[in-house]
Amino acid sequence: MSHGVKVRVWGELALFSRPEMKVERCSYDLLTPSAARGILEAIYWHPGMVWVIDKIHVRKPIRFTSVRRNEVKSKVLAGNVLNAINGGKKPLYISSREEIVQRAAILLKDVDYVIEAHFEMTEKAAEGDNTGKFKDIIMRRLRRGECFHMPYFGCREFPANFELFEAEEIDTAYPGEEKDLGYMLYDFDYSDPENIQPLFFRAVLKNGTLNLGDCEVVR
């Protein structure tokens, strides 16, 4: 489609956390649609448009590695913030010396994807906004390597390199193969800000491509 785009993203490490892992993180097998949307929004975001992910092409074999990382085991409580606002003496800091803990994480390594996506106009678009204007801005930013903030693969310590993918054919790591990856996070439903719901879908990788156009989304 005229307002579609293909973006190659790649990096050394990635972590798309499975929600069923409560403490130590374990990544999905590949880039999730919500993470792909986040990468594109890091490159260009505007209230007058919304990104829709069509396909994710896997260009390198899925490989995992395990690392241990320092994390803090607690967070500042909202109640402490409210207490401090009202003149209380609750501490509003976390002592990394006391709260630090080492946790293992199973990450993806040496990842390389092509995100195929398009955008749709929203009701927040201004009078002068149109698809041609947005497409020109997006293409210009991709060719120049510009972004609002550095895109990342799941966690900010895993940056994602990106570039406009202009080739017609996309070589994948699994031609002629079909892989059932089970249920994967699709995105979040923000229609009710008081009750944000996660959405999932059955991820099937065919010929190295995750086609989101014909997937069934469930809550």
Query: Per residue in 75-124, pLDDT tens?
Result: 888 888 888 888 888 778 787 778 888 889 999 999 999 999 999 999 99
pTM: 0.88
pLDDT higher than threshold 70 for residue 2: no
Helix (H, G, I), strand (E, B) or coil at 133: helix
Q: How far apart are CA 165 and CA 60, in angstroms?
A: 16
Closest CA to 9 of 36, 44, 41, 34: 36
pLDDT of residue 18: 93
Of the CATH numbers 3.40.640.10, 3.30.70.2660, 1.10.1840.10, 3.40.50.150, which one belongs to the domain with range 4-67+104-218?
3.30.70.2660
Closest CA to 108 of 173, 154, 70: 154
Q: How far apart are CA 171 and CA 184, in angstroms?
A: 23
pLDDT of residue 213: 86
| Mean pLDDT of the 160-189 span | 94
**In contact, 164 and 5? CB cutoff 8 Å:** yes
Domain ranges of the chain: 4-67+104-218
